Structure 1
Amino acid sequence: MATITTEAPAAVPVAATRAPLWRRAPAGLLFVLPFLLFYLAFLVWPTLSAFVLSFFNESLTGTRGELVGLRNWTEMLGDAAMWSALGNTLYFTALSTPALVLTGLVMALLTNRVMPMRWLWRLSFFMPFLLPASVMALIWVWIYQPGFGLLNAALTSVGLSEQGWLSDPSVAMISVVIATLWWTAGFNFLLYLAALQQIPQHLYEAASIDGAGWWQRLWSITLPLLKRTTGLVIVLQLLASLRLFDQAYLIYIGSGGPAFSARPILEYVYDTAFTSFRFGYASAISSFFFVLIVVVSVAQLKLFPSRREDAR
């Protein structure tokens, strides 16, 4: 008797059922085109123009100045004021990044628990982030004032001496860090809070049944599952701290602080371009700082690999 065998038809690759890439590309470009035009007009073109401008002795009139080649770049390498401003920026980044990451995590852990008026605490932690930079600077200038300032009044009430928060070069940048911590920690708090709410509760319940306390659950469950969010927060915070300008400029009214101890490199670029009217030299500094940020970004990609690279 003949044996009848049935075989399943060969599976057709999914890629074969799709339209070719050249047919699907126009539809995708229509969605991407508005963003692409803004990206090219307001980011790529200004970046390339600034790099080209760094080889010219450009003036305020906007006419192309004398071609000076690498003269602006060589002058920049020997500019002590530029290196001082870059050092201030790196000092601010080193102080603010760990503090902002840790503060955002602590606030998220506190408000993720079941507690009375939890919505009010969450709102209070996030509200400062919504304030404009000018309002934040005005608030903290009053807090730092000698005599009647809130911070110095608190110090004298416990028997400590007043501190020249806005006049002492040794604490001028620390004053900017404290104000920035109060102002922007709410963004990191929001990212951490969203990540905490995605952790399954049955993991904590199982750990509690096994006798794990709060500290053990934090180290064994919460922090490992927040690893990817922590990497994202660190990357965003480093880039934000390197771009320090608004709060430092407004708190010290563009003076750079006592002995220029709180002048970041972006403020130095601003002063060079719009006070000394040396646009070519300011473009060289900006291009150098852009390269530095690119190097930091590439290093962060190596330290915090993507999900696909992490799964290999």
Structure 2
Amino acid sequence: MTAVSPTAAPAPRADLPAGGAAGAAARPAGVRRKWTEHGLVFVTPFLLIYALFLLWPLVYGAGMSLTSQNITGTGAEFTGLDNYAEAVRDPAMWSSLWNTVWFTVLSTVPLVIIGLVLALLAHQLRVVQWLWRISWFAPFMLPSSVVCLLFAQMIFPSGFGFADQLLAEFGLEPGIGWLTDARYAMLSVVLTTVWWTVGFNFLLYLAALQSIPQHLYEAAELDGASAWKRLWHITLPMLRRTTGLVLVLQVLASLKIFDQVYLMTGGGPDDSTRPVLQYVYQQGFTGYRIGYASAVSYIFFALILLVSLVQPWLARRKEDSK
């Protein structure tokens, strides 16, 4: 009986590329990788769209802010930093910027707190839980025009709106100028915004609550911790990162306020609710000063960029200090 000699494995072909790190090491130094072998081919469409609709408008707008261009696009002359100097000296710009910051302060605090409270309630409820979640999130899905018109009909005109009728039922004096009095107009816009957008923060908090390990609560309960202590020492610390995220997103969203003010008050009374974006709109499309409006918008852009960078920096400092 003849023995079968083992057959030697065929040598790898030199014309076939080897895969993985070994292939990269075996590839001759003069041979370049095909451009389809890395991710550039996949991200190129996104980079083109990103450059066309974001980077180019940013560069083009920065160039317009240095000119006296009007809305027709003709007769533009290079003015350097004159538009920025005028904006810094313009009390109307600072007033609009203050209205924006004031709205952000008034709206951010209740939106974060109410969103957390609603999430805690929905997380604890066991009966028709889905109904509560939909009820608290549903307003966020409505268009801004619907929400603003709904609230405008509820609180205006003075003396006939639902809010004034409710005050009369409790024996209080109706006829408050909710949208025509500078003392109440901003608060009315804030109330509308809180009811409309709190569902988004509620959803973020609810998702974070569901990711907290249940055994932490069980261990704390076995140690005799009350519900308040479990909330204070387990729930809130575990939600710290979510709170930071909600806070940044809410501040950035509130700084970009435009729809509610434009639809409900038009910036009045006496420009007491006019935000900086409406001021940019008025200067560019009503005053036909596109160059000056671009300069104001870039000043506001710098403010938003500063706010978006401060929070991660503070979070890193807090993590490093631990």
Query: With structure 1 as the length reference, what TM-score do the two structures score?
Result: 0.89
Aligned to 2:288: 277
Aligned to 2:214: 201
CA contact (8 A) 1:56 1:64 kept: no
Alignment of 1:85-234 (within 5 A): 85-145=96-156, 146-162=158-174, 163-234=176-247
1:37 paired residue among 48, 65, 68? 48
Q: 1:221 to 1:72 in 2, by over 3 A?
A: same
Say whether residues 1:72 and 2:83 are aligned partners: yes
Q: 1:229 to 1:306 in 2, by over 3 A?
A: farther
| Matched AA of 2:55 | V
Q: 1:25 to 1:148 in 2, by over 3 A?
A: farther
In the aligned structure 1, how far is the partner of 2:210 from the partner of 2:121? 13
Aligned to 2:5: none
2:252 paired residue among 226, 234, 239? 239
Aligned to 2:11: none
Task: Return the offset for 1:147.
Answer: 2.3
Question: What SS does the aligned partner of 1:305 have?
Answer: helix
In the aligned structure 2, how far is the partner of 1:41 from the partner of 1:30? 18
Q: 1:182 to 1:23 in 2, by over 3 A?
A: farther
CA contact (8 A) 1:165 1:172 kept: yes
Task: Return the offset for 1:134.
Answer: 0.6
Number of equivalenced pairs = 294
Q: Quick check: 36-45 or 101-110, which moved more?
A: 36-45
In the aligned structure 1, how far is the partner of 2:285 from the partner of 2:109? 33
Q: 1:18 to 1:60 in 2, by over 3 A?
A: farther
Percent identity over the alignment? 54
| Matched AA of 2:145 | S
Query: With structure 2 as the length reference, what TM-score do the two structures score?
Result: 0.86
In the aligned structure 2, how far is the partner of 1:98 from the partner of 1:115? 28
The one-character-per-residue Cα deviations of 1:243-282 (angstroms, maximum 9, x if unpaired) are 1111111112xx3120111110000000100000000000
Aligned to 1:7: none
| Matched AA of 1:158 | F
Q: 1:251 to 1:17 in 2, by over 3 A?
A: farther
Q: 1:24 to 1:124 in 2, by over 3 A?
A: farther
Task: Return the offset for 1:159.
Answer: 2.1
The one-character-per-residue Cα deviations of 1:77-115 (angstroms, maximum 9, x if unpaired) are 111111100000000011111111111101100000133
1:57 paired residue among 54, 68, 88? 68
Q: 1:19 to 1:103 in 2, by over 3 A?
A: farther
In the aligned structure 2, how far is the partner of 1:23 from the partner of 1:230? 45
The one-character-per-residue Cα deviations of 1:203-260 (angstroms, maximum 9, x if unpaired) are 11111111111111100100000001001101111110111111111112xx312011
Task: Return the offset for 1:161.
Answer: 2.0
In the aligned structure 1, how far is the partner of 2:282 from the partner of 2:95? 14
CA contact (8 A) 1:101 1:233 kept: yes
Aligned to 2:308: 297
Unaligned runs of 5+ in 2: 1-19, 26-31
Q: Compute the RMSD of aligned alpha carbons.
A: 2.2
Task: Return the offset for 1:25.
Answer: 7.5
Question: What SS does the aligned partner of 1:141 have?
Answer: helix
Unaligned runs of 5+ in 1: 1-14
Task: Return the offset for 1:23.
Answer: 4.8
In the aligned structure 2, how far is the partner of 1:266 from the partner of 1:89? 9
| Matched AA of 1:204 | Y
